[in-house]
Every structure is written in C-alpha cells, then in structure tokens.
Structure 1
C-alpha cells in the first residue's frame, strides 16, 4: 500500500511540473511549451531514446535528470523481474540431506540388488523411513523420478541414462541428488599375472581417461538415446522462456526498423525534391 502511494505521489509531481512548464510563457526551452510535448519527451526518456532538445533552465534540468534516473531504475528492476520470473525462473529449493527427505514425507524404495549391497554398509539412517520394495530396477528408478513420492539409492549413470531415455536433456529436471554418499563401489577388470595384454590395456585405459574419451563417448551415447526418445522437454509441465517464445517480439522490432528506414528514405527524397535551395530558387 505504501509503495502505491509513493508511486502515485511521484507521478503526480511529474505531471504537475510538466503542466507548470507547459503554461509558462517565457521559457528557455520551447520543447515544453505544450503539454503534448511534455508527455512526448517523458515517453522518449522512458523508452531510452533521446529527446529532441535538452532543457536549459535549472529547474527543468533538475526535473529532467531526476526523471531519467527514475526511468533507469524502473527499467533495471523490470529487467530483473522479467529475467527472474519469465526467462529463467529456476526451481524450488532441492533436497540436500536425509532430514530434508524426512520432512518431505517421502518413502524409501528398495530393490533386491540394493538390499545385497546395503548388507555390507552400516547405514542406519535409512531404517527410520517407510520402505517399499520393487522388483524391476529400471521401473523402480522411473517411479522415483516421475511419480515424485519416494526416493531410492542408485548409480548416477543409471539415472542419467533413464532421464535421457525419457527425452530429458537436463537430468536436473527429473533427478535430485543428495549431498550424502552412501556407498562407493570401485570397478575393475582383472587379468592373470603375466598376461601379455595387461600393460597394453593399462596404457590405453589411462590415456582414455586422461584424454576425456570416455566422457565424450558417454555424452554422444546420451545424445543418441535422447534423439530416439518419444518424449521431449516440451512435453514437461514447465517450459522456460526462450528465444522461440520471443521471436514475435523480435519480428515486430525488425518490421519497425524496416518501416523506419523506408520513412527516412521517403523524407530524404521529399527533402531533395521540394526542400533543396536550388529547387526553391
């Protein structure tokens, strides 16, 4: 309520000063003689373009620079709100700890392989959750990602693959990872001692890791899986603002530029034909 009163007071002061300037007989700047010219200059400043002539008197200059600063502040605030709420609104605060999961009321979904792995880990924090069991690992992880009423433990590669298989380029839209690492399982491929290919495989494996070939192959694989998916990001509940949505605005802006160029050429041609000194003489 206070904000609206302040805005009304500011606008009222601007209008009153403009009216006062428009009815003064002797003024150093003729651009404010008419009320329409005052509103035209104010609208030009609000749009960020130049006025026809700068004011000369101290009072008008003070009012004018105050209005310029006000328009600059309002434009900055508008851009911040537009970016925040339309272009990139983001998402709600993610779950970070098991306490957040407990407060959210999610159930703990487990499966046979997970039960076997958890038998080697002393992680009692999961005992306080209500547990549900499923038998298909992929379907279990899909239920966690899309039904959003439970949580589970899984490899990050599996969840990324299933998200890409469902047509999501960004796994953060459907997958939320906690900051807690429950189980770390190193994997290796063993050969017999003295195997002739052992040193060769070690060299190629190390070079592949250092050169980022595995990351490149994994990204290419996820991209191919995503292209074959039936669902895309556009089928999701929320689609962020992008240049595709703003294309009509830019098309209208381009049309305005073309029309302005045509009008400028028309004015120049008319000036050359009718307004040149040689023609008048």
Structure 2
C-alpha cells in the first residue's frame, strides 16, 4: 500500500519502528550497510507499510546519515542516491517498488539492500531477481525470512555467468550475526561485469577516419576508437560487436524529444555504448552518462585558402612591414639631402668647409652604389670615403639578403591575410555550418545558431573537397584530426586554412545510457589503458604519420618557374626603361649635361 507525503503527519517515527528490537533481518541489513555503504553519502530507507519488520533494528544499529521515506513520492529537492534500503511486504510489492525507482531516475548502479519482511508472508526470491535482471540492477543483497525454518536468508546474483549472458538465478550468501570479526559482511558488492564471460559488448559507432574504419564489414574494424574498444573488450573478456546506427544516420543529435544516430541507439536502449568521437556538450552531458575522458579533440573552423596576391606584390614579400618603412624613409632622406644640395645655403656651407661640388647628383650617385655598379672616382676626404664604403657595405648586405629570399618568394604563391577569428567570418558574411551536434555550442548566440547550415555526415567530405578546390566560401566546423587525415589523400597538393580560434577543446569520451551497468567496468579499463600508455600509443599510431607528412618538404612536387612568377619583375624593369627613355629624351632636347 502506498502513502503520500501528507500521510506522514498522521504517524510518528516510533510508530514506524514498532517491531521487535531483536529482529535479525534488521540487524543483518544494518551490518551489510555498515561495511559496504559509503558513510559520506546519505542512505535512503524506503518502506511502504508501517508494519515493516526490521526497520526499528536497522535504524538503531546503522547510525549513519539516512533519509526515511514512506511511500512512493518524489521530494521537491532531489539529490543523487547511490545507496538504498528497501523494506517490502512480498515479492510483488518489492518488484513494483524496484520498477518505480528506475522510472523515477534513481541510480540503478547504486547499492541496494532489499528486506522482504512482513508478518506471515512468504517471499519469492526468484521473482525479485527476475525483476532485478530486467532492470539491470546488479549490486543487490536480498534478505528474507524462511517461513519453514524461521531463519534469515541472504541472496545475491551475477547477471553474467558461464552458462548465460542474462542470468537471474540467485545464490545464497552465508550471513549470520556471529561470524568472526564480521568478515562475512564485507565486500558483498564486487564489480559484477569485470568479466563478461565472452558475452557481447554491443557498441554503436559511425565510419569516421581516422577514428573508425569499418571496411563495410569485410574485415575487423580499426582506427583510434576501433582499437581502443577492441582493447577494452579484451580486458573485459567480452565479445566486441561494432554496429552502425539503426537509423543509418551519423553520431546523432537531439530532435523531437529524442536522439538520433549512434547516440539515439544508446538513449533508446538498443546498444550498450556509443563510440562516435562526438564532442561533449551540455545537452549530451545531461542526457547520457559519460566515460572516463581518455583523450581530447579540437573542434575548429576550416575554410578555403585566401585569395592570392598579385604577382608584383611578391617583390615585397621578403621584406616585412618595418623593413619596408625603414628603407622607404632611408630613400626619402637621400632625396631630401639631394634637394638640399641645390639650395643656396648648401653652397655657403660648401665654401666654408672647402668642399668641391659633386660631378653627379647625390641621388644618382647613391643609386649607382645601391645597384652595385662600379664607380670611377671616390672621395678624397677620409670622412666622406668612410661614408661611401659604409653605404656600399649596407647596400651589399640588403641586396644580397633580398635576392636570396626573392627567388623562394617568387616560386611560392602569396595570399592575402588569413581569417584570424570567427568574427572575421561573420564580418565577411561567409556561409558556415557543420553537423547538427556542433550547433549546440552556439545556443546562447542566436545569430550564429539561426544561420547555421547543417552538413550531415553523408555530405561532409563532399563539402570539404569543395573547400580544398577553392570553389566555395563555406566555413566548415569539424574535428581537426578528421580534416588533417582527409588532407593526407592529396599528399600536400591541396591546402586549406584553419582559423586559429577553436570552437572547443572537448574531452574524448564514450556515451552510455543513464545508469548503464557497463559504465563502471568500461571506465575502469579505459582509466587503466590510459595510465599504462596504451591509448597514447594508439593515437600516435594513427596520427603520427599525419604529422610527418605535413612536415615533409618534398610532399609537394617542385613547381617550375614560369612567366607569372616574374610578372612583377618585368613590370619594374619596363618602368625603369620608361624612366630612362624619358630622361634621355629630356637630355637630348634640353642639351647635353656637362661633366
């Protein structure tokens, strides 16, 4: 019989505990809880009748934090409950209560002590364990009193056995109050799935190089996630079964109050685990249990390379911005000094210091030295000679360094500035998007969220190839390693730009249904594999050759020099010819210059 929260006002706690103080069932339950529950957590003690046998004794001997709960009701403020004691009348009442706890989102991975006790009522333990197995409640101790012998009996079960992968047959526990040092009450909740006994571990996944290669079922799956899952299954002595999503979609996203794809398989109880290398988000965290984070992934924006610069701009590539300014100011100062030489004040200075007038203009003489042309005469004064030699040395260094860098600059394509942040994408009004699950990261930014273009997994590589070909301005959100691995197919002949501003650096996890029984054992083996270095080695196996390829200088064939590489040089040469012809024409018309 059920009671609501209001019924508590009609009874006192002494009424609830009106049973014999020497009840053996309550004492056994208290000892099991004392040695197996964590004292830092509170324990929920739930019963549906005021005549529950053993409740008084349990509360008297288990003097830790408890919450006594009469009937099936949910409080306004709920906390995570990892240990529970349930008093019930018979097997039907207990089975109904267990189903209610699972429907009410209590942690079915927690520790349960079930006391089947009521006056003159028998308890069918087989029926209770059938319910426990169907609800995947593994950590349980059942206490009951035999009507025939009036002895207290204790049971538990293993959901996986040598004979069956779905076992519900209980076995007896040898519990009695007088056992030496209470040893019989210790370690009653071992890990039940540390050995799968070759039973199936079904994992939903998707084809996603380099994380998962399925080979259309023609050979054993591989890849980073594939090898890690095979290692985990081997450590658990399980038979690994990797399957694609039942709806044929990708990793999955939340839509119409349900999940699609690989995550949908887990959410709807069709598979044990989802290993799809999907980045963690708040929505996933709230709807799934996640594994121990065993690596991390970068989610980035990728787009085509920027527009190439004009050929003449390559002439300036060897010089950075500050050197360009310095050289420009240097030649401006030479022009300025040459202009001063024509002023009257300079002639007065020349007479005062007895300086002979130069035969050539100061500007022309400086330019001749800069080009490395030979000079017929040099200054007689030592101070002027040092100045000329210093200028020759300076011009030689600048000219040699510039020429050395110019050939390489002319051969390589030069691009306009890269996109530095996603704000540049918005400013240029480029289209952007990616798989639907990544859209969740921008739920607080409605402008980005509303304009997101969903690219499903079937069209992902088609979109990426369009970006590599430079035929689209689309900005694609994706896993960085997946992009790099796809670039390997072209061996350096195609390139794209990755915006430095990341979307997120997400931990790499696998996803379970809430309170899945495989959570703890699989987390344990993933933690062990990470600490032993196996996971790092698997990542290096599939990603290290990607890095080596991008470091190879000869991954791209040498490109021969053509006319387009020298367009800027020829334009500058023709400009020089035009200036020379103009100067010659002026000289011819106005008369020859005197030496």
Q: TM-score range by the shorter chain?
A: 0.3 to 0.5
Given the two structures, how large is their TM-score scaled by the length of structure 1? 0.48
Query: Max radius of gyration: which structure?
Result: 2
